[in-house]
A and B are shown apart, each in its own frame.
Chain A
Amino acid sequence: EAGVAQSPRYKIIEKRQSVAFWCNPISGHATLYWYQQILGQGPKLLIQFQNNGVVDDSQLPKDRFSAERLKGVDSTLKIQPAKLEDSAVYLCASSLDQKDTQYFGPGTRLTVL
């Protein structure tokens, strides 16, 4: 069974530029999550989707971050415009349903210069 796929694996941009990350969850998983992991810290939830609806986006900085999961499968996370403090690894995870174990993808390492 294929795991969670993410792309790109690495991205370097300058501040004030835009960037987008893509995630494809494990087949059949209804719940999808985006986490931000700053160097030396544990991951922190940005947003949780159940199918194509948002369950929790309370920690998403909505002035610059947006995410969508239009068809209830793939998801895109966007940052516009990026700030230096957005440098982090962005992890996507999926679970069969909302109370199930989350499985993580390899992450996208973003560097903002």
Chain B
Amino acid sequence: AQKVTQAQTEISVVEKEDVTLDCVYETRDTTYYLFWYKQPPSGELVFLIRRNSFDEQNEISGRYSWNFQKSTSSFNFTITASQVVDSAVYFCALSTPGTGANNLFFGTGTRLTVIP
């Protein structure tokens, strides 16, 4: 069975601080994809990144970076120099498309509040 755990329910940081959101996943499939989505107060889920299980290279996109470690089944997300606009709920998700279906299994989310 697929499972995603986001142990941090809520995090508050002061603007310009760095913050890391943790994600731990479980799957027996060898081929899988990991995702991060952002859900601002408007409610729409905004896609941030997708990584496949064969690519453990870390990725950086502007102030965002992701650390994928298969050895610890983790896919953590770091925001550098946080801004008020980063305030949102962030979801980590897993899909295992081997069966043909493409169900996204989501964690429970981490609510990030950036204080000005």
Interface residues of A (CB under 8 A from B): 31, 33, 35, 40-45, 48, 55-56, 89, 91, 93, 95, 98-107, 109
Cβ of B50: which chain A residues have Cβ within 8 Å of it? Answer: 101
30 contacts between A and B (CB under 8 A): A31-B102, A33-B102, A33-B104, A40-B108, A41-B109, A42-B108, A43-B45, A43-B104, A44-B106, A48-B102, A48-B103, A55-B100, A55-B102, A56-B101, A56-B103, A93-B45, A98-B102, A99-B102, A101-B35, A101-B47, A101-B50, A102-B47, A102-B102, A102-B104, A104-B37, A104-B44, A105-B44, A106-B44, A107-B43, A109-B43
Closest-CB distance, A69 to chain B (whole angstroms)? 15
Q: How far is the CB of B27 from chain A (nearest CB, A)?
A: 15
Q: Are the C-beta atoms of B91 and A42 separated by less than 8 Å?
A: yes
Assembled-state Cα–Cα distance A43/B37 (Å): 11
In-complex Cβ contact of B42 among A35, A98, A99, A106 (8 A): A106
Do A42 and B101 touch (CB < 8 A)?
no
A109 to B107, CA, bound (A): 20
CB distance from A26 to the nearest CB of B (A): 12
Q: Give the Cβ gap from B46 to chain A, nearest Cβ, in Å.
A: 8
CB-based contact B100/A98 at 8 Å: yes
Question: Which chain A residues lie closer than 8 Å to B42 at the CB level?
Answer: 106
Question: How far, in Å, is A91 (CB) from chain B's closest CB?
Answer: 7
Q: Given A42-B91, A43-B104, A48-B102, A98–B43 Cβ distance below 8 Å?
A: no
CA distance A108 to B44 in the complex (A): 10
* B79 interfacial by beta-carbon distance below 8 Å: no
Of the candidates A42, A89, A104, the one having the most CB atoms from chain B within 10 angstroms of its own CB is A42
One digit per residue, 1 when the CB lies within 8 angstroms of any chain A CB and 0 when it does not, for chain B 62-82 equals 000000000000000000000
Tell me, yes or no, whether B21 is within 8 Å of chain A by CB: no
B106 and A89 contact, CB distance less than 8 A:
no
In the complex, what distance in Å separates the CA atom of A99 from the CA atom of B97? Answer: 6
CB pair B45–A91 under 8 Å, yes or no, is yes
Question: In the bound complex, how far is the Cα of B42 from the Cα of A103, in angstroms?
Answer: 15
CB-nearest residue of chain B to A3: B44
